[in-house]
Amino acid sequence: MTVSLPNPLLSAGPQKPSVDDLIRVFSLLCPHRGSMLAMSTMRAVYTNFRAARTALKDISRAREIAVVLVRHGFGHFVEAWQLQDKIVLAPILHKRDAEEDPLSPYERIALALQDLGPTFVKLGQILSTRPDLIPQELCDELKTLQDHVNTIDWNDAKTVVESSLGRTLQEAFSVFEESPLASASIAQVHCATLLDGTEVVVKVQRPGIGEKIEADLHILYWLAKKVEETVPEAEAFDPVAIVREFERAISKELDFKFEARNLTRFAKNFSTWDQVYIPQVYEELSSQTVMVMERLKGRKITEAVGHGYDMEAIGRDCVSLLFKMVFEDGFFHGDLHPGNLWVLEDGRVGLIDFGLVGRMSHANKDAMADLFLSIATKDCEGLAQTLYTIGIKRGKTDYSAFEADVAELMDIYFDNVSLANIDFGSYLREIIEGAIRHNLRVPSDFTMFFKAIMTVEGIGKQISPDLDIVAECKPYVERLVAERYSPQRVIKNTADTVQAFARFGQKFPLVAHQFLEHIDDGRLNIGVEYPDAEKMETSRRRRWNRLNLVLLTSVLFTAGIVMRNDSVNTLLGVPWPTTLCLVVASLLGIRLLWRILMSGDW
Q: Which positions are annotated as active-site residues?
A: 335
Task: Determine the 3-state secondary structure of 400 from DSSP.
Answer: helix
To 10 degrees, the CA torsion angle through 444, 446, 448, 452?
180
Task: Determine the 3-state secondary structure of 435 from DSSP.
Answer: helix
* DSSP code string of 111-180: HHHHHH-HHHHHHHHHHTT-TTTS-HHHHHHHTT-----PPPPHHHHHHHHHHHHTS-GGGTEEEEESS-
Q: Cα–Cα distance between 87 and 97 in angstroms, integer? A: 22
* Integer CA distances (angstroms), 245 to 184, 240, 435, 451, in order: 21, 9, 20, 17
Q: Cα–Cα distance between 65 and 6 in angstroms, integer? A: 46
Q: Cα–Cα distance between 79 and 82 in angstroms, integer? A: 5
Residue ranges of alpha helices (H) inside 176-271 are 209-230, 239-253, 256-269
Q: Cα–Cα distance between 469 and 457 in angstroms, integer? A: 7
Beta-bridge mates of residue 188: 183, 204
Q: Cα–Cα distance between 5 and 175 in angstroms, integer? A: 7
To 10 degrees, the CA torsion angle through 105, 339, 290, 325?
100
C-alpha gyration radius of the chain: 35
Angle at 499 between CA 497 and CA 505, to 5 degrees: 105
Q: Cα–Cα distance between 602 and 175 in angstroms, integer? A: 97
β-pairing verdict for 182-183 and 440-441: unpaired
Identify the CA nearest to 552 among candidates 589, 524, 578, 500.
589
Q: Cα–Cα distance between 185 and 570 in angstroms, integer? A: 97
Q: Cα–Cα distance between 460 and 375 in angstroms, integer? A: 20
Identify the CA nearest to 184 among candidates 358, 339, 341, 344.
339
**Residue 41 burial class via C-beta count within 10 angstroms: exposed 0-12, middle 13-18, buried 19 and up:** exposed
| 265 within 8 A of 281, measured Cβ to Cβ | no
Tell me how many helices (H) and strands (E) the chain has.
21, 16
Q: Cα–Cα distance between 325 and 318 in angstroms, integer? A: 11
Give, as one character, the DSSP assignment of residue 465. T
Say how far residue 204 (Cα) sits from the centre of its chain.
Answer: 26
